[in-house]
Structure 1
Amino acid sequence: MSDAVVQWLMHPVRSDPSIRWQVMRDLLEAPEIEWQKERARVATEGWGARLLAVADAEGGWAGGAHFPADYVWGGTEKGQPWTATSHVLTLLREFGLPPSALEQRVASIRRTVRWEHAGQPYWEGEVEPCINGSLVANGAYFGVDVGPVVERLIGERLDDGGWNCEAERGSVRSSFDTTIAVLEGLLAYEAATGGTPASREARRAGEEYLLVRHLFRRLSTGEPADEKYLSLLHPNRWHYDVLRGLDHFRAASLLTGQAPDPRMSEAAEHVRRRRLEDGRWPLDRNPEGRDWLDIDAGPGKPSRWITLRALRVLNWWDRAQH
């Protein structure tokens, strides 16, 4: 990790508090009192403050749970809009917004926001495990009791160990995209509450689903399950990629003390090979659709988020190999 890359990540104007505090914690190993001070700025400066500023007067964002109130189903809008409550909460969690900064809004979301599916109260969850996985991650992070949704997810695990949003339509095979969303939720729940024996067992089974596939391969043929899983994506939204998988396993390892599984080696080396000559990593793609923020400079350009995540994953991986 070069000094130039660190300076780029920590730039006082072009970077953002949401990146800088994680660089301080995960890469520079700064004292907690220092990175917590920078983390507090997420609520008052930069991307976090901008998202808070566009919140609805009462409730969540854009008048909806998963879709904005003005979204026209079957219309001509390109991509999925990412302005509604569920997507904003995921970004704020990723940014590291201190939960205390959202305490009142979390309560107002409970009172006013309903899912588009059937009008369910927001924090009680929807029907799709990919959506509920993110709900659990966000709820656990922001101090909501999401235990009932966790129990539902545990019961929806498929025989191969993972999850699939298409299960309600007959699918019996898990998907990488849904499984990673649920795993992130179960891990956040475990970090916040300690979890339950059933939630911890479900998390381990879902992780095994990814590990036995080396984080991106088909179990049947050994070929990549989807070439897009090898690209570097941000924000991930509901999409999987190998860096998202590795970052989950890093977080799980830090929580549980479990060493990295050697079956992740191919994915880790793929991320290493994507490093540019100047020590940074590029953004390959981002999900199409309207959003509140332009976080990166665009596909093909160096990405602070991808670089931060790649560096901390490889630091964790390399330390475990020695």
Structure 2
Amino acid sequence: MNDTTTSRNDDSTPSAAVRDWLLDTDPALRWQVERDITRAPGETWQATRSRVATEGFGARLLAEQDADGQWAGGAYFPAGYFGSPEADEPGQPWTATTWTLKDLREWGLDAEVLEGTAEKLAANSRWEYENLPYWGGEVDVCINAFTLATGAWLGADVSQLAAWFPAHRLADGGWNCEAEEGNSTRSSFHSTLNAVRGMLAYEKITGDASLRDARHGGEEYLLSRQLMYRESTGERVGEFIDQFIYPDRYRYSALAALDHFRDACRHEETPPDPRLAEAVDVVRGERQPNGTWLQDGRMPGRVWFDIDVAPGQPSPWLTLFGTRVLDWWDHET
């Protein structure tokens, strides 16, 4: 371990015990700890990252892939979900293709491991909404954001889907999954964060910056509200702001938003926006005396297997995100 933080005198610095605890995790998490927390050499964290395909969480999800390229036989929901007893269970299943690929991409799986999957999905996978082809996306902005990023990662042609985002921005600058059905004309924190995350991933993977203006507009929507407040009343938008969970699937929180802004600033080599300060205070306030963050809950729904700890327990994933957000803020502002 190459520890470059021991001389820093601030509360974003994890203790040796926390660093060791974070390193004693699945390769999907460990390589990020090595890169972002312990500042290990590139060859170290890249070697760990390569193990995602053959060990632990990544290998377990890869083993569940269907011969037609899908997972659980469906695009967003498992095959046969609607009308089945499973449809009456709390939440929704998180086992179908879109959710599984989102996890694998965010865990750092090398796309070459899934060679041929983009073509199989083009041939075999259709959205449950109007039977639309997979790589064209559908009408839900969150689904389209996940698909845009995953398509870029797997080398699919998602150019038409990329053009969807500027065309469907709302007048206030963001996006809302309810807008396409005519149920809302105001942007959503959840939808807007998913949109800007998807566009940033697309830009980082492809080098195509054509969506940057649209992404900046969505980011400005969040920044103008300090990531937390309604513009109309100045009240917090919801209790989800300081409820940190992993996996968060599509759900917004101050921590998830800050992790995006960290990623965006590092990509564009820009300093943190001062309007993030209150959200940073929220994240700092949730940090436990031992330097960890607790799992605040789980989104209900069927999973292939549990990825993180039970509610109320110290979460390695949330501790990675919280630590790297505070480290970025404390040393770049």
With structure 1 as the length reference, what TM-score do the two structures score?
Answer: 0.96
Tell me the distance in 2 between the aligned counterparts of 1:312 and 1:70.
41
Query: Aligned AA for 2:77?
Result: F
- Map 1:5-20; keep pairs closer than 5 Å: 5-11=18-24, 15-20=25-30
Residues 187-196 or 247-256, more deviating: 187-196
Gaps of 5+ in 2: 1-13
- Map 1:1-322; keep pairs closer than 5 Å: 1-11=14-24, 15-73=25-83, 75-170=87-182, 171-197=184-210, 199-321=211-333
Equivalent position SS for 2:88: coil
- How far 1:136 moved relative to its partner? 0.9
Query: Aligned AA for 1:239?
Result: R
Matched-pair identity in %: 50
Tell me the distance in 2 between the aligned counterparts of 1:65 and 1:304.
29
- How far 1:16 moved relative to its partner? 0.1
Gaps of 5+ in 1: none
C-alpha contact 1:23 1:308 (8 A) present in aligned 2: yes
With structure 2 as the length reference, what TM-score do the two structures score?
Answer: 0.92
Tell me the distance in 2 between the aligned counterparts of 1:225 and 1:294.
29
Tell me the distance in 2 between the aligned counterparts of 1:38 and 1:45.
10
Query: Aligned AA for 2:157?
Result: D
Tell me the distance in 1 between the aligned counterparts of 2:192 and 2:235.
19
Tell me the distance in 1 between the aligned counterparts of 2:103 and 2:94.
10
C-alpha contact 2:117 2:154 (8 A) present in aligned 1: no
Query: How far does the alpha carbon of each residue in 1:257-290 deviate from its partner, in whole angstroms, 9 at most, with x for none?
Result: 1110011011111111111121111010121000
Query: How far does the alpha carbon of each residue in 1:164-211 deviate from its partner, in whole angstroms, 9 at most, with x for none?
Result: 0111232110001111111011101111223344x1110000000000
Tell me the distance in 2 between the aligned counterparts of 1:143 and 1:312.
29
Query: How far does the alpha carbon of each residue in 1:206-229 deviate from its partner, in whole angstroms, 9 at most, with x for none?
Result: 000000111111111111101112
Query: Aligned AA for 1:34?
Result: T
Equivalent position SS for 2:327: helix
- How far 1:106 moved relative to its partner? 2.5
